[in-house]
């Protein structure tokens, strides 16, 4: 049973069938898709040096824009400790420049939350809560976060956290996956967001 089936339990069957297919990644399987982000927005300009620094971890980037080509690759694998992992590679194509927003997810079997290590090497850790809406769409919320400094993880106070909300659905009319990601901070407000659509590669 995949980590997303485990964390959602019976609610997994309430997902739209195409979302079930997308998130039912058995060990060794791959999901690849391409599309366009209609808009990528950032927060205050004084944050841009932080976003520029984040490029080194394949986590953040300073570029913004509309109609940005996008690709995503999810690879299911077994980690060194024997647990199932899903590697997320999200690439935003700004002309000849590629920017990444990568992560590695696994399941905390005891607490039934997804463990999300953001960046390569990991820079931020976040618990993720998954929920299915009545229309079969999926919502993901980030919970407690930690700063990852090598083998040391330091809890981040809420005031310093970038809390993400991800909404994903399948548009049957146009045959596309629709995604909306928003990251907010309790003090700053809007930090980073993108929305768009993608289709699975043949």
Looking up tokens 């930090």, which residue turns up?
191
Q: Which two tokens stand for residue 79?
A: 């980690």
Q: How far apart are CA 16 and CA 173, in angstroms?
A: 13
Instruction: Read off the pTM.
Output: 0.95
* pLDDT (tens digit per residue) in 53-109: 999 999 999 999 999 999 999 999 999 888 999 999 999 999 999 999 999 999 999
CATH code, residues 3-200: 2.40.128
Measured at the CA of 66, the angle between CA 173 and CA 122, to 5 degrees, comes to: 95
Distance CA 120, CA 80 (A): 16
Average pLDDT score, the chain: 96
CB-CB contact of 164 with 114 (8 Å): no
| 183 burial via Cβ count (<10 Å: 0-12, 13-18, 19+) | buried
33, 198 Cβ separation under 8 angstroms:
yes
For residue range 115-157, list pLDDT tens digits in order. Answer: 999 999 999 999 999 999 999 999 999 999 999 999 999 999 9
Where are the chain's structural domains?
A: 3-200
């Amino acid at each position: 049973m995949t980590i997303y089936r485990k964390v959602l339990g019976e609610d997994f069957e309430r997902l739209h069938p195409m979302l079930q297919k997308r998130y039912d990644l058995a060990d060794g399987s791959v999901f690849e898709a391409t599309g366009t982000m209609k808009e990528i927005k950032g927060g205050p300009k004084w944050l841009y040096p932080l976003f520029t620094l984040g490029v080194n971890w394949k986590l953040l980037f300073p570029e913004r824009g509309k109609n940005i080509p996008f690709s995503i690759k999810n690879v299911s694998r077994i980690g060194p400790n024997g647990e199932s992992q899903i590697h997320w590679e999200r690439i935003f194509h700004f002309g000849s420049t590629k920017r990444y927003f990568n992560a590695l997810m696994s399941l905390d079997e005891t607490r039934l939350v997804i463990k999300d290590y953001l960046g390569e090497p990991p820079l931020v850790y976040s618990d993720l809560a998954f929920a299915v809406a009545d229309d079969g769409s999926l919502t993901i919320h980030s919970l407690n976060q930690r700063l990852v400094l090598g083998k040391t993880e330091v809890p981040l106070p809420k005031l310093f956290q970038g809390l993400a909300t991800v909404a994903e659905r399948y548009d049957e009319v146009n045959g596309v996956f629709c995604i909306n990601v928003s990251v907010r901070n309790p003090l700053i407000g809007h930090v980073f967001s993108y929305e768009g659509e993608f289709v699975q590669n043949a």
